[in-house]
Amino acid sequence: MGSDYPPSLRCGLPGLILFLETAFILIFWFCFSKESQSTSEDLEIYPAFQDVNVLVIFGFGFLLASFKRYGFSSIGFNLLIATLGVQWAVLVEGFLFASSAGKVKIGLHSVLKATISVTAVLISAGALLGKANPIQLIWMAMVEVAAFSTSRWINVRFLKIEEHTSLMHVHIFGTYFGLAVSWWLYHSSLSKRIEKETSNPISDLFSMLGTLFLWMFWPSFNSVLIVDVMEKRNAICNTYYAIAVSAVAAFALSSLSSRNGKIRMIHIHHAALAGGVALGFSAPVIPHPWIAMILGLLASMVAVLGSHCLQTYLNSVLKIHDTCGVHYTFGLPGLLGAIVNVILFIIIKWASLSTLGYLALIEVGSFMLTTAIGLGTGFITGFILTFKLWKTLPASKYFDDQAYWEFPHLAYGF
Amino acid sequence: MPSAFATNMRFKFSILAIFLEVLIIILFGIFVRYENTQPTTKDIFLYPFFQDVHVMIFVGFGFLMTFLKKYGFSSVGINMLIAALGLQWGTLMQGFWHMEAQKINIGIKSMINADFSTATVLISFGAVLGKTSPVQMLIMTILEITIFSCNEHLVVKVLGATDTGASMTIHAFGAYFGLSAARVLYRPGLKEGHKNEESVYHSDMFAMIGTLFLWLFWPSFNSAMAHADLQQRTIINTYFSMAACTLTAFALSSLVEHRGKLDMVHIQNATLAGGVAVGSCADMSIYPLGAMLIGSIAGLISVIGFKFLTPFFFSKLKIHDTCGVHNLHGLPGLLGGLASIIAAMAHVKLGETSPSAPMQAAALGCTIGIALVGGAFAGLVLNLPFLGQPPDENCYNDSVYWEVPAEETRPAGQFGDYGDHRTVNINM
């Protein structure tokens, strides 16, 4: 192994984590008041908040655990960056969106918004899975949460986008940020699929467990921020039916796209979720379930087609290695949802507004802006993450738990 | 017959699935709309119950069936396919019985009902697990949910029987439907058993994930549809019944096995029988005493069913019940029906009145009858030779319908045999 031996993280990682945690504690101590006045309405969202929590920690963790030698890292680092990201997101959002001078207030809502913002980091981590070490992931989480909150602040403050819509930009933002970082971390050895970058039946089942939890709790994710009861009910039902359609379509299209008619697990993992992502923006405003179901069908098609075309053509040309296929699970369905949202917006408001064109342009501009900020900040972050200072990993140690974890048993086959 | 076992389902499966999907979307477009009354907080209050039921359907039932060593993908994957298709079809079928002005109004409550209707198909899927193709399962989903919703309408609306936790209409119905279909689909070639029809250590662990999620959320399943005032009682009754049943199942499993060892199959399945059995009378005032009595008996008959009845069914009646759904859903479902008849005869209160015993008996009888006839009919349809069912030697094997990643070369030759290769390492 010799020079390929992965650098020890002993002096870097504990120091960095402890420093950040101390900083968080001090900032929370000095800048935050105890809590806002809690009402029973705040507690009403608690079950849905728990669903989002399961989705983020459990769902994403197991979804990423699809490689046979990278299960510990997938789930472990997911937990690490999610918990770190939530604390940091509460801070950043608290300062950016502070309504009045003085101490910032914390409630269930701020934790909820922070949890949703952190999804962006987890999606980016999916694109980098196996190629970045924990130090790089932590720095990426710090930058990305700050960048996403800033982008959201611009959207809400200057473009007057609704809070719900601005938070649903996480999928687009996370994807393009991750892809831009991934461009910097590209290594020529990644053009071929190596033995470690494959799954085995057990890891595929674990990944399916994560997929199911994401899939089941997606109605909560899309509806939790909505206040109006009617819109909330519509958001839940629309997402429920759309994501069911995209699951069935994922099976059908997966079978259709393979020569011997066999279903591929990877398609199910990705395409079944696409419907929920696409519904993110427009779930509360879609008036009839069949519209949502068609959108779910389209999203599933985009995801399956994307996994065929992008992985073979686009990624090899652009030298981007998208480990978990976040581009077609979250990115493209997210863009599809954003476009459909604008179309629906125009149709619904057709008669009632004179300044329709202007407002529609604002909607288009907002998701374009988010994409651009994601790509831009991701590009800069990626450049910084290539510095040797972060103890980057040699390419031979990609997709390998052994670089980071003590093993209860030796490596053979594991 | 070569055509019967042409398992390449590239066009058959995908075209049928897309066709059904398009059909359902069109029907939704014509008939389904959201309730336009302002939803009350009660509706949103039901949403956590819905989520629990959702977890049971997709993770619980899905992973419970992963116990076969080479059939994990199909168990979880096809389970998801059936449930995702079934919940859309179930919304329509149940909605047709409750139309207002030619429209089906949907809300959170119809989502819970739709999830319930898929549970019947998943139970039947357990009985035919490993011996059917995804194409067959699509057809069975459509047939079974159609018949189920008619039976449910008959039991609840026409007969006016009470069945809150759906012991009869879902569990007994699904189990006997599946058994009847399995009888028609009986394969003489598998009389001697099959080399893949067994579990390995890790596959039993995966199945335990399913068991635990089902166990945890069963109180929500039984109480989701209960009247708001009776919901708390339903939860408590189910909880105690499950607890009593678990203890009995452990005890009986140790009693019937050699040297007092526990059998994982019993733990995976019989511990859940209490939730099934208490379903019909969970919202009556049976007190924890009644609930625990029902739960204990359910655990008892479930283990005994696994030990003695399933081998008997297989060898004498030619019914091969892969997951033992008869012991988990069938017998406890019958028990639940009987318990509700007894409770009705004893004038146990449900709200202000008590249910009528003859109607409960009629509900139980017609549920079993319709399930058996419907299952036989479904079995005949599934026997059509072009539906891509696997040949005998490829039963219980994922790789017929799935791209399965290469298994690692291991001394034991089976994937995931952790036990074996750990010893290898120590020896090395």
* DSSP output for B42-63: HHHHHHHHHHHHHHIIIIIHHH
- The ipTM estimated for the assembled molecules is 0.91
At B69, phi and psi to the nearest 5? Answer: -70, -30
pLDDT for B413: 39
Q: In angstroms, how far is CA B180 from the centroid of its own chain?
A: 15
Give the CA distances from residue A414 to residues A70, A402, B199, B238, in Å, rounded to whole numbers and listed in that order: 10, 10, 20, 41
Q: What is the largest CA-CA distance in chain A?
A: 71
* Positions in chain B whose pLDDT score sits under 70: 1-6, 39, 41, 407-428
Burial (Cβ within 10 Å: 0-12, 13-18, ≥19) of residue A375? middle
**C-alpha neighbours within 13 Å on the C-beta side of residue A169:** 32
pLDDT tens digit sequence for B159-200? 888 888 888 999 999 999 999 999 999 988 888 888 888 899
Contacts of B408 in chain A (CB under 8 A): 68, 200, 413
pLDDT for A410: 56
- Is the Cβ–Cβ distance between B111 and B167 less than 8 Å? no
pLDDT for B424: 35
Short-list B225, B175, B160, CA closest to B361: B160
Q: How many whole angstroms separate alpha carbon A310 and alpha carbon A207?
A: 22
Cα torsion at B153, B155, B157, B158 (round to 10°)? 110
Short-list A123, A120, A136, A138, CA closest to A185: A136
Q: Give Cβ neighbours of residue B177 (< 8 Å, ≥ 6 apart).
A: B120, B123, B124, B144, B147, B148, B371, B372, B374, B375, B378
Average predicted confidence (pLDDT) for chain A = 86
pLDDT for B417: 40
DSSP letter string over B166-214? Answer: -IIIIIIHHHHHHHHHHHHT--GGGTT--TTSS--HHHHHHHHHHHHHH
For residue B87, give the chain A residue with the closest CA: A244
Q: How many whole angstroms separate alpha carbon B123 and alpha carbon B171?
A: 7
Of B58, B107, B407, the CB nearest to A201: B407
pLDDT for B5: 54
For residue A197, give the chain B residue with the closest CA: B405
Give the CA distances from residue B368 to residues A146, A384, B90, B261, B337, in Å, rounded to whole numbers and listed in that order: 61, 68, 20, 35, 11
pLDDT for A147: 94
Q: How many whole angstroms separate alpha carbon B377 and alpha carbon B150?
A: 15
Short-list B120, B141, B279, B417, CA closest to A244: B141
Q: How many whole angstroms separate alpha carbon B352 and alpha carbon B237?
A: 18
Per the DSSP assignment, residues forming a β-bridge with A104 are A32
Cβ <8 Å between B84 and A244: yes
- Is the Cβ–Cβ distance between B241 and B298 less than 8 Å? yes
Q: How many whole angstroms separate alpha carbon B350 and alpha carbon B223?
A: 14
pLDDT band at A409 (very low <50, low <70, confident <90, very high): low
Task: Give the torsion sign (CA, A178, A180, A186, A190).
Answer: positive
Shortest alpha-carbon distance between residue A263 and chain B (Å): 5
- Which tokens go with B67? 């116990």
Interface test with B, best of A202, A232, A239 (most B CBs within 10 A): A202
Of A208, A262, A294, the CB nearest to B76: A208
**Which residue type does A187 have?**
H
Burial B124-156 (b: 16+ CB within 10 A, else e): bbbbbbbbbbbbbbbbbbbbbbbbbbebbbbbb
- Is the Cβ–Cβ distance between B59 and B206 less than 8 Å? no
What integer is the mean pLDDT of A239-251? 94
- Which tokens go with B190? 């598998």
First-residue to last-residue Cα distance in chain B = 50
Give A189's DSSP letter.
G
In the numeric block, the tokens 């980098």 are attached to A128
- Which tokens go with A11? 């002096």
pLDDT band at A360 (very low <50, low <70, confident <90, very high): confident
pLDDT for A287: 87
Q: Give Cβ neighbours of residue B148 (< 8 Å, ≥ 6 apart).
A: B93, B117, B120, B169, B170, B173, B174, B177
Residue B82 at interface with chain A, using a CB cutoff of 8 Å: no
pLDDT for A34: 62
pLDDT for A99: 61
Q: Give Cβ neighbours of residue A375 (< 8 Å, ≥ 6 apart).
A: A176, A177, A179, A180
Cβ <8 Å between B405 and A237: no
Cβ <8 Å between A265 and B21: no
At B336, phi and psi to the nearest 5? Answer: -60, -45
Contacts of B202 in chain A (CB under 8 A): 202
- Is the Cβ–Cβ distance between B326 and B320 less than 8 Å? no
- Is the Cβ–Cβ distance between B219 and B419 less than 8 Å? no
pLDDT for A37: 63
pLDDT band at A353 (very low <50, low <70, confident <90, very high): low
The model's pTM: 0.91
**Which residue type does B171 have?**
H
- Which tokens go with A349? 């408001």
- Is the Cβ–Cβ distance between B32 and B107 less than 8 Å? no
Contacts of B115 in chain A (CB under 8 A): none
Cβ <8 Å between A248 and B81: yes
How many Cβ atoms sit within 10 Å of the Cβ of residue B427? 6
Cβ <8 Å between A201 and B405: yes
Q: Which of A232-236, A378-382, B310-314, B386-390 has the lowest mean pLDDT?
A: B386-390
Q: How many whole angstroms separate alpha carbon A71 and alpha carbon A73?
A: 5
pLDDT for A38: 64
Residue B58 at interface with chain A, using a CB cutoff of 8 Å: yes
Question: Helix count (H) and strand count (E) of chain A?
Answer: 17, 1
Short-list A265, A109, A97, CA closest to B402: A265
First-residue to last-residue Cα distance in chain A = 19
Residue B384 at interface with chain A, using a CB cutoff of 8 Å: no
For residue A220, give the chain B residue with the closest CA: B51
Short-list A407, A403, A387, CA closest to A395: A403
For the cut 80, the answer to whether the pLDDT of residue A368 exceeds it is yes
Of B29, B108, B415, the CB nearest to A290: B29
**Planar angle of CA B45, B46, B50, nearest 5 degrees:** 140
Instruction: Tell me which range, A213-222, A342-351, B99-108, B162-171, is most confidently predicted by mean pLDDT.
Output: A213-222
In the numeric block, the tokens 């079995």 are attached to B379
For the cut 60, the answer to whether the pLDDT of residue A143 exceeds it is yes
Beta B402-403 vs A263-264: how paired, if at all?
parallel
Cβ <8 Å between B14 and A204: no
Contacts of A204 in chain B (CB under 8 A): 73, 405
Q: How many whole angstroms separate alpha carbon B128 and alpha carbon B268?
A: 18
Shortest alpha-carbon distance between residue B253 and chain A (Å): 28
Q: Give Cβ neighbours of residue B208 (< 8 Å, ≥ 6 apart).
A: B264, B267, B268
- Which tokens go with A265? 């697990």
pLDDT for B352: 75
Q: How many CB pairs under 8 A join A and B?
A: 197
